[in-house]
Structure 1
Amino acid sequence: MTPSNDTFDGTFPFAPRFNDAAGFRMHYVDEGPTCGEVILCLHGEPTWSYLFRGLIAALSGSYRVVAPDHMGFGKSETPVHRTYWLQDHVDNIERFVLELDLNDITLVMHDFGGPVGMGLAARHPDRIRRIVSTNGPTPFGQRTLFERLNANAAVSPWFQWIVRAESQGRLEPVLGELGFNILSTLKLNGFENHARINDTWLRAYGSRFAVPADSAGAIGWAKGFAIGAHRFEVPDAAALAAIRSRPALAIWGDADRTLAAEHFLPLFSELFPQASIHRLTGVGHYSLEDAPQEIANLIAAFLEAH
């Protein structure tokens, strides 16, 4: 587990905070005015709140920016006797949000943070004020979800590898050594801004997975897809109507080879037909690494407008 006081050479200068409402020691960042509107940033695979460091710095002057690390990621614990399926992470975030009593939430979601955030929205639509997807799917009971997931998996190198590796018994051994192969794993998912890579950046993403036991979170999200263990939250009619009425924004790196725009932006448009969509040319799956300032500017303008 990443040491709680590690700032990664000043690139992550935010005070570590911890909460145990979900039954483990969950790390989170909580920056900005405590009475401000809440921006809740939800990361995916195999990242942590470090992914949002630029956004936290850009928005925390005016907003309360909260960025938790999911169970098994970042500075959060990796409990041994837990499962790491999608529904477990939704449960954890729900308990965290209720414990901190977060309201007027703008969800900013990346990768698996999308279904986690939409799961929270399905359970507590009254707490959600806006939706922002940054290369993060927004499943919300759509009948086309599994059709789109399967179509994407057929062309995505990451999902193709997951299925093949699981069938050959190699998924857990490979991802169990994520601390040593973090760069190849991140690149397989896709980023384009190679200038970001240095020893500090590699340590920030790789040191979390020092030994196989630290990698349960990363393994769980991949394995859960391969064996069909993830369960997507289905909203009731009232939650669906409430969330459809919220202001929404999608920002998608067009060079994303893991979650292709052609397969996942239609999910967003089905739910939010009037919402703005910004497709960023030359930006990959880890869009917040490839274009941090552009994305921060787009989100800030969206918050101002709504």
Structure 2
Amino acid sequence: MPDFDPDQSLYPFTSRWVTLGDGTRMHYVDEGTGPVLLLLHGNPAWSFLYRNIILGLRGHFRCIAPDLPGFGLSQARAGFGYTAKEQADVIVDFVDQLGLKGIGVMMQDWGGPIGLHLTQTRPQSVERLIIGNTFGWPLKRRGPRVFSSIMGGMAGRMGAKHFNGVLLWFFRMGVTKPLRKEVWDMYQAPFKQRKKRAPTHIFPKQLTEADEFLQRVEEGLSAISNRPALILWGDKDFAFNGDERGRFETAFPYHLSITLKGAGHFIQEDAPDAINKAVLDWYGYSE
């Protein structure tokens, strides 16, 4: 059973569940009609991150936002390790189970490698990419490697367990506009119980431990380079800077690149209106 009830004044969506082949019980929302937008979150968020995107776009799109296992309301199978590769394979199974086609994938944070893996694995199903403040290759810069060793090591593990430290740090550093209390409460809700917090420090650890998976994602970029890409980049991100953006612009020559001025890592929180306008314009819905 779910551990919490989303605040319907902020997240006015019908919750849906699907049981995947490995036993994972995935929670997702499915709102609107039209071209499919698959909205992939990263760490330590859940589909709540996309609430304003869904509200702004469901009049033109079928917006599908799943919670990764261990996040939000999804329930991982027994023995699930919460690694990047496992999470990516779950999303492939999720798309297969729902029979999704003609997908535009929006990806941010760990949603990037996961969404790119989906595109490489099911190229017949994904038509467009919406890329925001993410990556698709092993991170070799010293900053991410040090961050991984701290947040993914003993300090991060103990901090996450005892005071939800990873969540607190990410959302203090990752937004430029302070979160209202009721919004902050919803981000904390999945991790109120200490036993639920492990996934939040596993993803930072994966920044170094998932190098093999990330290398395969990088090697597969050329095979999907013909996809139209909308690159939306917050210019105040603590994690990903212009280097990652430039690599995506090179990897996807058929791109439109837009700067979200003043937006931090969680662009969905800092710039939802600009994102919605960019997506509508890019799909040709502008008035």
User: TM-score scaled to structure 2, two decimals?
Assistant: 0.90
Distance change in 2, residues 1:269/1:18 (3 Å) = same
Per-residue CA shift, 1:71-116, capped at 9, x if unaligned?
1001111445111111101110011100110000000011100000
Mapped pair 1:31 → 2:16: no
Residues 224 and 230 in structure 1, CA contact (< 8 A), matched pair in contact too: no
Residues 28 and 68 in structure 1, CA contact (< 8 A), matched pair in contact too: yes
Distance change in 2, residues 1:274/1:43 (3 Å) = same
The match for 2:10 is: 11
Mapped pair 1:259 → 2:244: no
Mapped pair 1:192 → 2:176: yes
Identity in percent: 29
The match for 1:245 is: 226
Per-residue CA shift, 1:50-74, capped at 9, x if unaligned?
1110111111112111000001001
- In structure 1, stretches of 5+ residues that fail to align are 140-144
Give the CA RMSD over aligned residues.
2.5
Distance apart, 1:161 and its partner CA: 3.6
Query: CA separation in 1, counterparts of 2:159 and 2:88?
Result: 26
Query: CA separation in 2, counterparts of 1:254 and 1:50?
Result: 22
Q: Which amino acid aligns with 1:187?
A: R
- In structure 2, stretches of 5+ residues that fail to align are none
Distance change in 2, residues 1:210/1:80 (3 Å) = farther
User: TM-score scaled to structure 1, two decimals?
Assistant: 0.85
Distance change in 2, residues 1:200/1:229 (3 Å) = same
The match for 1:205 is: 187
Q: Which amino acid aligns with 2:12?
A: P
Mapped pair 1:273 → 2:269: no
Query: CA separation in 1, counterparts of 2:217 and 2:104?
Result: 18
Distance change in 2, residues 1:256/1:165 (3 Å) = closer
Distance apart, 1:182 and its partner CA: 3.3
Distance change in 2, residues 1:209/1:150 (3 Å) = same
| Mean Cα deviation higher: 274-283 or 45-54 | 274-283
2:155 to 147, 170, 175: 170
Residues 40 and 106 in structure 2, CA contact (< 8 A), matched pair in contact too: yes
The match for 1:75 is: 73
Q: Secondary structure at the match of 1:278?
A: strand
Query: CA separation in 2, counterparts of 1:57 and 1:207?
Result: 21
How many residue pairs align between the two structures?
A: 285
